[in-house]
A and B are shown apart, each in its own frame.
Chain A
């Protein structure tokens, strides 16, 4: 049998009442890469913020390719920020959004961490799809990941995978 290389580390499903953030902590450094998948309806029009290691320092930046509505792909860059977002402005928040975040070399202790993110939302009349190259300019290994929003509603699910 092949070695299992795509291992679910943890899953969080929001139940009972909504929350404003969810955190995966004590992430083991034993994998090569991490993948985080998220789906659900969020407050503030499905916009979600990412931080790692509890850091709100200006270590986050990104470069996006997106298609929004009927418009063709375009791009956007951001100066260093205290968190990362993966949408082209406002999404509708009517239907669930999907996020797939890929962290390469997350446990490295000398290099910045690159992040390849696919995100999308469609509300049956319009939507957007975004490919984001993110950078977390820290030499620290990523040991915790926090997703936050004005509201993370009941039913939202996030799974962290080790690869």
Chain B
């Protein structure tokens, strides 16, 4: 039997609203990490930001380029030297039965080098009439292995939001 190369490290399904979600003590035994997020914010807006940080680092070690579709138009932007990467998810103004779908891929997270981070995802904010779809190419300039990931909502991640962290091996 082939080796299992895609392993669940940890998961969190929120039993109550939470402003932050943290994965800590991430083992360095994988090559890459994948974080799968199905979530929404409690704030009364259609789309809201949430912040991605690693290793409790709040310095300007983050930069990212975004390409996204919103309001029936394509957009792009560069964000250099920020203190976290900003991703998007839907909020309380969106239909109650919708959650955003996001995937964050972190390559070589345990290496003593800078880290490349790709995020993709979005959601409809009204059924059949609009939404947000985006992809982000990010860089974390810290050279320590990533052992902690922190996600911070605009207000709170809603009860029931789920976060699954997977480790990927290449052998």
Contact = CB atoms under 8 A, between A and B. Distances in A.
B101 A104 contact: yes
Interface in B92-149: 95, 97-101, 103, 120-124, 127-135
Contact of B133 (A75, A111, A137): A75
Contacts of A64: 69, 133
A3 B67 contact: no
B-side interface size class: 35 or more
A49 to B, nearest CB: 17
A124 interface: no
A77 B72 contact: yes
Contact of A74 (B36, B73, B134): B73
B127 A135 contact: yes
A119 to B, nearest CB: 12
B98 A65 contact: no
Interface string A72-86: 111111111100000
Contacts of A132: 133
A95 interface: no
A80 B126 CA distance: 11
A104 B8 contact: no
Contacts, number: 130
A56 B27 CA distance: 46
A77 B126 CA distance: 11
Contacts of B70: 75
Interface string A55-91: 0000001111100000011111111110000000000
B107 to A, nearest CB: 17
Contact of B99 (A5, A61, A111, A163): A111
B5 interface: yes
B163 to A, nearest CB: 11
B98 A114 contact: yes
B23 interface: no
B38 interface: yes
B67 A65 contact: yes
B67 A114 contact: no
B133 A133 contact: yes
B33 to A, nearest CB: 13
A4 B101 CA distance: 23
A110 B97 contact: yes
Contacts of B38: 104-105, 114
Contacts of A77: 72, 128-131
Contacts of B129: 61, 77, 79
A131 interface: yes
Interface of A: 1-6, 32-33, 61-65, 72-81, 102, 104-105, 110-112, 114-116, 118, 131-133, 135, 137, 139, 163
